[in-house]
Amino acid sequence: MARVNIAVDAGIAQDLTEEARKQNKTLYAIANEAIQTYLHVSRMGKSPEQIYKIIQGFEFLKAISAVPIPETLLDRILQAAFKNSKEEVLRAWYDEGRVFGELLKSEAGKIDSLGDYIKRFRELLPISMIDLNIEDDRVQVIMTGTGYSFESAVCTSEGLKGFLEAFGLKFVNAETASGFVKVEARIQQ
């Protein structure tokens, strides 16, 4: 086996040494695992930063006990649920939006930081487009690709309302159409 010397910053070398000690492994083993992981990620066409985002996204989903479900199935379930109890469905979406908002608020901090956070994780969101505009005391969120049905858009709107209220905003208005949501809220002073 060929040996190659690789130079790393002193801080990284110290972190690797500490990690090796914690895992009861050699520095050689930890360095090889790190490099091998980098190569796997790179061959998948991903960057380490993208993998980090995916892991963070997965941790959020795990924290709220999210279950992956095909969008078309979710649309069909929402349409059926609306026929049974529209108010109950919308309350559930509001509540879950509020929970997700509280969770994200602990990471993003204030609403001003949310735009950067959304940009950072945009590629992980199951929507076509999201635009967050903050102007004076008003916040506007526009989303497309929020499902196929009107019911999905209404549920997304209600979840977004709970989400924004978790950040201390006051809901003002919502516009919805199949696959489109626009929600406006006001920053409370």
Residues 96, 162 contacting (CB under 8 angstroms): yes
- Going by pLDDT thresholds of 50, 70 and 90, the confidence category of residue 122 is confident
Domain residue limits, the chain: 10-45, 70-187
Residue 33 has pLDDT above 80, yes or no: yes
Is 114 a residue whose pLDDT tops 70? yes
Provide mean pLDDT across the span 34-40.
90
Residue type, position 3, single letter: R
With H, G, I as helix, E, B as strand and everything else as coil, classify residue 169.
Answer: strand
Residue 8 has pLDDT above 90, yes or no: no
Pairing of strands 180-187, 138-144: antiparallel
- Where residue 119 falls among pLDDT bands split at 50, 70, 90? confident
Tell me the CATH architecture of domain 70-187. Answer: Alpha-Beta Complex (3.90)
Confidence of residue 1 (pLDDT cuts 50, 70, 90): low
Tens digit of pLDDT for each residue in 67-113? 888 888 989 999 999 999 999 999 999 999 999 899 888 877 788 78
Q: If you average pLDDT over each of 57-61, 147-151, 156-160, which comes out highest?
A: 156-160
The backbone torsions φ and ψ at residue 179, rounded to the nearest 5 degrees and listed phi first, read 80, 5
| Mean of the per-residue pLDDT values of the chain | 88
